[in-house]
Amino acid sequence: MIVRRIDAQLTRLANQPLWQFVVVVYTVSLVVKIAIMMMASEAAVAVGQPLLRYQGDAQRSLLVLFIQGVVLAPLLETWLFQQLPIRLVGRFSRGLVLPILLSSLIFTLLHYHRLLAGMLNAAVMGLVLASAYCYRARRPDGHPFIAVAAIHGLHNLLAWSVQWAQRSGLVPAG
């Protein structure tokens, strides 16, 4: 029953214009990621572990990081982690569950940062991006690649913006 409701909601969302789909999926996924970070933060404090280990790359310029993280990575990763696995599995499976889970697993494993918060964030993003791809692909004019690359790029833009703000001295680093 609940799976059908979720499927109906996602189908309805996927039928919205591309820009609206991207904005809604990005916003909802950001809220979910923030909630996970808050829960993981409490758990990390309870066991005395760091939430995240920032491994900033002070050697690379912000422009290079922007091009790599906000432009190139979403395009390449959408192709590698969503389009290829979903299309391959789609040849053997009619449903959405297997393609979404496989794509999510690949994304999560290749974005795993050895800490709970990083793994949970990667898993959420993997599910979000794979689901977005599959649901937009159902439409003849759904442009799933563009939708997923845009959502991914917006998430990376937020992370890049934090680095920019830290390097600019607008917010404290660490």
Give the domain range for residue 82: 2-47+62-167
The answer to whether position 84 is within a domain reads yes
pLDDT tens-digit series, residues 83-106: 999 999 999 988 999 999 999 999
Q: How many residues does the chain have?
A: 174
Q: What average pLDDT score do residues 110-116 get? A: 74
pTM of the model: 0.88
What is the chain's alpha carbon radius of gyration, rounded to the nearest angstrom? Answer: 17
Percent of the chain with pLDDT over 90: 60
The answer to whether position 57 is within a domain reads no
C-alpha distance from residue 167 to each of 59, 60, 96, 154, 164 (Å)? 12, 12, 42, 20, 5
DSSP code for 138: T
The answer to whether position 55 is within a domain reads no
DSSP code for 70: I
The count of domains in the chain is 1
The answer to whether position 76 is within a domain reads yes
User: Would you place residue 167 in the very low, low, confident or very high pLDDT band (cuts 50, 70, 90)?
Assistant: confident
The answer to whether position 124 is within a domain reads yes
Residue of 56 and 18 predicted with greater confidence? 18
The answer to whether position 93 is within a domain reads yes
The answer to whether position 116 is within a domain reads yes
Contact (CB, 8 A) for 25 and 134: no
The answer to whether position 160 is within a domain reads yes
